[in-house]
Homo-oligomer: A and B are copies of this chain.
């Protein structure tokens, strides 16, 4: 299924990440529904002009602050995130000391192990959540199963590309939840403590960079009066602005 993408193709990067997802599915890392979710993300990224906006930089700063100042942060990973940026996940775990935990909606032992294998190939020493036994109360999907040393004990969870039910359950349990979601209107985006409305492949390197730069002085990162609703409103404005500008070009 793999196709050759010429590097001068206008959509080279987007096609490259698409190929990573398809390869991820062939390696059992990504579920088929994960490919559909990736497509939804692509559409919203396109509407954002495929760039990191100021609201995302603000959210990244606040996310870095929370990850550096929490007692027990955890990095929750799923198939799409691992297919797209495994190196960055391992690096984020190392710079924050937050363990990586596999956390799937379509859970199977085979996929858990495939994901853990990819993370280990990229330098992860420990991967939680393989054969996870603990359970998040009030969640009916397989995703409620979490590692007792990981998310269950965490005070702060980084859950990029997460679903709404799960995010709500984590927030109800009193955890600080940081997510990356390209749809500012999704339930995940609206429920999380901090929502980075950006493409994970752009946001993750930026988050790591901010953390590395401010590791010794995390309190300087705190965004005064951080308001996640304002972040989402700004993301929506950016989309409306981009659509309106493109509509004007179209009319010319």
Partner of A36, one of B35, B106, B229: B35
Chain B residues with Cβ below 8 Å from A190 are: 250
- Flag whether A43 is at the interface (Cβ < 8 A): yes
- Select from chain B the residue with minimum beta-carbon distance to A44: B43
CB-defined contacts of A44 to chain B, threshold 8 Å: 43
Contact with B along A217-252 (1 / 0, CB 8 A): 000000000000100110011011001101100110
Closest approach, in angstroms, between the C-beta of A251 and any C-beta of chain B?
Answer: 6
Is A246 within 8 A of B185, CB to CB?
A: yes
Dominant SS among interface residues on chain A: helix
Q: Mark A13-40, 1 if CB is under 8 A from B, else 0.
A: 0000010011001000001110111111
CB contact under 8 A between A18 and B39, given known A106-B3, A229-B251: no
A25:B36 contact, CB within 8 angstroms? no
Tell me the bound Cα distance from A61 to B37 in angstroms: 32
Contact flags (1/0) for A129-144 with B, using CB distance below 8 Å? 0000000000000000
Residue A113 CB within 8 A of the other chain: no
Q: 1/0 per position for A42-77, CB-CB distance to B under 8 A? A: 111010000000000000000000000000000000
A148 within 8 A of B: no
Q: How far, in whole Å, are A236 and B238 apart by their CA atoms in the complex?
A: 15
Complexed CA–CA distance, A43 and B43 (Å): 6
CB neighbours (8 Å) of A167 from chain B are none
Q: Is A96 an interface residue (CB 8 A)?
A: no
Of the residues B35, B243, B244, contact of A32 by C-beta under 8 Å: B35
Is residue A41 contacting chain B, with contact meaning CB distance below 8 A? yes
A103 in contact (CB, < 8 A)? no
Chain A 143-164, CB-CB to B under 8 Å as 1, else 0, gives: 0000000000000000000000
Question: Quick one: closest B residue to A244, CB to CB?
Answer: B240
Within 8 A of B (CB), among A76-128: 106
Q: Which of B40, B232, B250 contacts A39 (CB 8 A)?
A: B40
Q: What are 25 inter-chain pairs, A to B, with CB distance below 8 A? A: A1-B32, A1-B106, A18-B33, A18-B36, A21-B32, A21-B36, A22-B32, A25-B32, A32-B35, A36-B38, A36-B42, A38-B39, A39-B40, A39-B41, A39-B43, A40-B46, A185-B243, A185-B250, A229-B250, A233-B247, A233-B250, A236-B246, A237-B247, A239-B243, A240-B244
